[in-house]
Structure 1
Amino acid sequence: MSEENSQHLRRQRRERSSVSTDEILQASEVVARGGFDALTMRAVATQMGASPMALYRYFATKDELVDAMLDRVLGRIELKDATDDWLADLAGFATAHRAVLADHPWAIVPLFTHSNPGINATIIGEAALGILERGRVAGGEAVAIFCGILALNYGWFAFTAARDTTRMNVEPEAVLATALSMLPADHFPLTLSVADQLSNYGSDAHYAFALQALIDGVGATAQPK
């Protein structure tokens, strides 16, 4: 029997077997790691050694599959128990959210374009609003702060990811440092004074500082108890 016929028979057997939703989502994430554009129903089926029809039994469209993938990812955000410091809890929430985004870079674009990625998005929002309520921040102000945290994380990740992928096989920090060193000092004295920091923009230390500034601002506007 030829290898082609053997693969065909294996695929036929796989079609008739029962595949699980979890198995489909695992295979989908493997495919998505190669870039979100590479994610197709056929590519996922190939990863599983199955027919695309095996997927359509569970997900009628690619959008349904992507929503389930995003829900799965957002469910990995670690929501810790409340402490007596709600501002620290808010910072912890933001940091945990950013960590999951960093682990799943393919999810950034679809999170922007899929308005209802699943119940875990609602669970996350409820958790953040609960933290803010403990600080007597509610209503539109709470929504604005929650959106601000999401925007910081999505924007920060997209910003640094773009930097890291623009130059293959070249350290972006070294490229930027070289470019900055060529600036005329009489025109850009302030830029050159922070050249070391600018060449490492988007670092974890920069994120921690920016997040703390946001948290401090939230604390300053919270209603007194």
Structure 2
Amino acid sequence: MPGAVSAPRSRRPRNSLTVDEILDVAERVASAGIETLTIRAVAAELESSPMALYRYFSTKEDLVDALLDRVLGRMEPPSESADWIQDLAAFARNHRDMLRRHQWAVTALFAHPAPGPNALPIGEWALQILARGGITGDTAVATFSGIVGLNYGWASFVVARSGGAGESLAEGLRGPDVAQAFPLTASVAGPMSRYGSAEHYDLVLGQLLAGISSQPDRDHTTE
């Protein structure tokens, strides 16, 4: 209707928000890319003012930490059996699956490795399993770091592979020039299409676990 004036957009009362509601929206915003997450963007989704969110999170970094801590809290605890290596494999896969379900959080977790209290149980689970295998102290820390490092690297592979990187890489290796200059690389063009696949992960994890289980000095501790 000509001359009609739309009603002004109302904002929510400042005290009507909850932490869980803010984090729900923040996760939805971050799922499009962690770089899109800002206090202003979350406030807009909530039809609130940025100042209302600052009552709960004084900075964007505080919001990111809370969101990442929430993600880490979703990791499934590993199963416990009579075989500590099987349990370590379960831990590794559960951690990998947690990262795979939250691909947007992988790069942020690099910058915020311990964003909150939910990071502590993850390390404790791994250390408990390693202690059952006689791996403690400095060796346990290095072993845990190696598993976590594998998973973060593999999660990055999965993100790249979701955009067709594996197939593109394989196709680029099939040219005659590549075959002549790099024959061994060209010969694995087919497997390169499975770059970052679950099958490749299981192969590499098995190799890592075989090395862990066979190391002779399991109780080495460095102060």
TM-score, normalization by structure 1: 0.88
Choose between structure 1 and 2: higher helix proportion.
Answer: 1
Contact 1:135 1:222 in 2 (8 A): no
* Rounded Cα–Cα distance in structure 1 between residues aligned with 2:14 and 2:184: 67
Contact 1:180 1:192 in 2 (8 A): yes
Q: Which moved more, 1:125-134 or 1:153-162?
A: 153-162
Partner amino acid, structure 2, of 1:97: H
* Rounded Cα–Cα distance in structure 2 between residues aligned with 1:193 and 1:173: 15
Contact 2:100 2:158 in 1 (8 A): no
Cα deviation digits, residues 12-47 of structure 1 (max 9, x gap): xx1344211111111100000111110000101111
Q: CA RMSD in A?
A: 2.0
* Rounded Cα–Cα distance in structure 2 between residues aligned with 1:196 and 1:87: 32
Map of 1:192 onto structure 2: 186
Flag structure 2 segments of 5+ consecutive residues without an equivalent: none
How is 1:118-129 mapped onto 2 (pairs within 5 angstroms)? 118-129=116-127
Flag structure 1 segments of 5+ consecutive residues without an equivalent: 166-170
**CA deviation after TM superposition for structure 1 residue 223, in Å:** 5.7
* Rounded Cα–Cα distance in structure 2 between residues aligned with 1:117 and 1:224: 30
**CA deviation after TM superposition for structure 1 residue 163, in Å:** 4.5
Partner amino acid, structure 2, of 1:194: V
**CA deviation after TM superposition for structure 1 residue 172, in Å:** 3.4
Taking a change above 3 Å as real, the CA distance of residues 126 and 193 of structure 1, as seen in their structure-2 partners, is same
Percent identity between the two aligned chains:
49
1:217 and 2:220 aligned? no
* Rounded Cα–Cα distance in structure 1 between residues aligned with 2:91 and 2:113: 21
Map of 2:112 onto structure 1: 114
Partner amino acid, structure 1, of 2:168: V
Partner amino acid, structure 2, of 1:197: P
Taking a change above 3 Å as real, the CA distance of residues 2 and 104 of structure 1, as seen in their structure-2 partners, is farther
2:175 to 167, 177, 182: 182
* Rounded Cα–Cα distance in structure 2 between residues aligned with 1:20 and 1:94: 34
Contact 2:73 2:118 in 1 (8 A): yes
* Rounded Cα–Cα distance in structure 1 between residues aligned with 2:114 and 2:56: 18
Map of 1:104 onto structure 2: 102
* Rounded Cα–Cα distance in structure 2 between residues aligned with 1:2 and 1:208: 62
Taking a change above 3 Å as real, the CA distance of residues 179 and 16 of structure 1, as seen in their structure-2 partners, is closer
Matched position secondary structure for 1:119: coil
Taking a change above 3 Å as real, the CA distance of residues 137 and 196 of structure 1, as seen in their structure-2 partners, is same
Contact 1:70 1:117 in 2 (8 A): yes
Matched position secondary structure for 1:181: coil
* Rounded Cα–Cα distance in structure 2 between residues aligned with 1:80 and 1:181: 42
Contact 2:69 2:118 in 1 (8 A): yes
Report how many residues are paired: 215
2:195 to 198, 201, 204: 201
Partner amino acid, structure 1, of 2:197: S
Taking a change above 3 Å as real, the CA distance of residues 3 and 178 of structure 1, as seen in their structure-2 partners, is same
